[in-house]
Amino acid sequence: MLTAVSIDANNEIFFLAYGIVDTESTESWTYFFRNLRCLFATEGCHKDDWTFISDIMRGVDAAIHDFYPKETRRICCQHLYFNCKTAGWSGSTFHKLFWIAADAYNEYVFEKAMTKIKEHDVAPEKYLRDVLEQWSKKMFDSKVCCDHNTTNIVESFNSCTKAFRDMPMLTLLEAVRNWVMKRVGSRFDKAINMEPDQLIEYAQNILQSRSDDSRFCHVTLCGGGGEREFEVRDRHVKFPINQDLMTCGCGKWQGSGIPCKHGLRVIYHQRLEPTNFISTYFKGAAYKATYARHIHPMANPTHWPSFDVPQILPTNVKRSAGRPTKQRRRAPHEARKGKRHKNNWNFQGVEA
């Protein structure tokens, strides 16, 4: 089952499309993205500059580029790190430096981490430099206002629909539709009562967290001229702030669409309201537009109208030997679910 999921303003799963194919290949992904493009066109959306994030799956790159020539490709950093680990580049030092580079919002932090990776080992630094897809947050387009660099949202969807995998095909599709319908319906009801400028709960939590951290920052200089520019000192580091452009030298404000602690320090210093400096993506108007329509209920299959069409029989599939696996195959870097650690007790000298 191929799926395309997105993230709404509340950092929750927004389901787009799903389909059943025989195997994961260039042909099947081409079929999937062609129909996804037709789906967008039906809703009046003809944009080509979508941002896609995935691991390196067979056939995805070629299929996306055929139907979305202006697309932006991100790669899941968790899978990218696993590729590095498979190549022999591991250890606590590399792990720490890799994620510092991956989560860096500005060029300085990224280059400093990459320099230390190079000092640790030249090979992984060259490999990461040659990655064509975007993987560090400093590479992301600020207009997207989404700083996700992993596919955890997809893993969450797979976990939620795990109970449906053993069902027959039609029952599987109907179970997924019902699962999506319930969640979209509850958010549809939630969006009705929201004010246009009301902040989403996800943005409120981030704002509160960064607001607490802003207490340790100090506005040291106010600039003149047409733009409201400020300089904020965070311990021993200074960051330039442009309040009109809603940017900060740390990169987190423009990268996430929500003011960073340095930007909040300036906003509080000016006696202004932080809500006015948050991207409209995280406000009630956008959330209401996202869930403006809900998924309509369907009648029981026994009540469906009959059509005079040929009956499609299931294909002859040779069953593999052994019992079919039900658990998701975990990568070598992932912890085994429910695995207990054995205690190495020393019973020497103990008499029964």
Other beta carbons within 10 Å of 251: 23
Amino acid in position 5? V
The C-alpha atoms of residue 308 and residue 301 are separated, in whole angstroms, by 16
Domain ranges of the chain: 2-160, 201-277
Q: Are strands 72-75 and 217-222 parallel, antiparallel or unpaired?
A: unpaired
Look at the block and give the residue holding tokens 């956008």: 286
Query: What is residue 16's three-state secondary structure?
Result: strand
- Give the pLDDT confidence score for residue 112 in this predicted structure: 95
- Give the pLDDT confidence score for residue 349 in this predicted structure: 42
Q: Could you state, in chain order, the average pLDDT of each consecutive group of 10 residues for the chain (352 residues)?
A: 91 90 87 92 86 83 86 91 91 94 95 95 94 92 89 87 85 91 92 92 93 84 66 89 91 93 91 93 94 87 85 72 67 59 43 38
Contact in structure between 263 and 241 (CB atoms under 8 Å): yes
191 burial via Cβ count (<10 Å: 0-12, 13-18, 19+): buried
Task: State pLDDT tens for residues 72-123.
Answer: 999 999 999 999 999 999 889 999 999 999 999 999 999 999 999 999 999 9
- Give the pLDDT confidence score for residue 156 in this predicted structure: 87
Amino acid in position 279? S
Query: What tokens were used for 261?
Result: 């602690």
User: Can you count the helices (H) and strands (E) in the chain?
Assistant: 12, 8
Query: What is residue 82's three-state secondary structure?
Result: helix
Nearest Cα residue to 56 out of 129, 132, 126: 132
Contact in structure between 116 and 102 (CB atoms under 8 Å): no
Q: Are strands 51-54 and 72-75 parallel, antiparallel or unpaired?
A: parallel
Task: Please enumerate in sequence order all residues whose Cβ is within 8 A of that of 184, keeping only pairs 6 or more positions apart, or say none.
Answer: 15, 291, 294, 295
Nearest Cα residue to 241 out of 255, 213, 216, 222: 222
Query: What tokens were used for 351?
Result: 């008499």
The C-alpha atoms of residue 68 and residue 37 are separated, in whole angstroms, by 8
- Give the pLDDT confidence score for residue 294 in this predicted structure: 82
Nearest Cα residue to 189 out of 288, 297, 296: 288
* H/E run at residue 53: strand 51-54
Distance of CA 113 to the CA centre of its chain: 23
Look at the block and give the residue holding tokens 């969450």: 156
Amino acid in position 247? T
| Global confidence as pTM | 0.82
Contact in structure between 149 and 161 (CB atoms under 8 Å): no
Amino acid in position 27? E
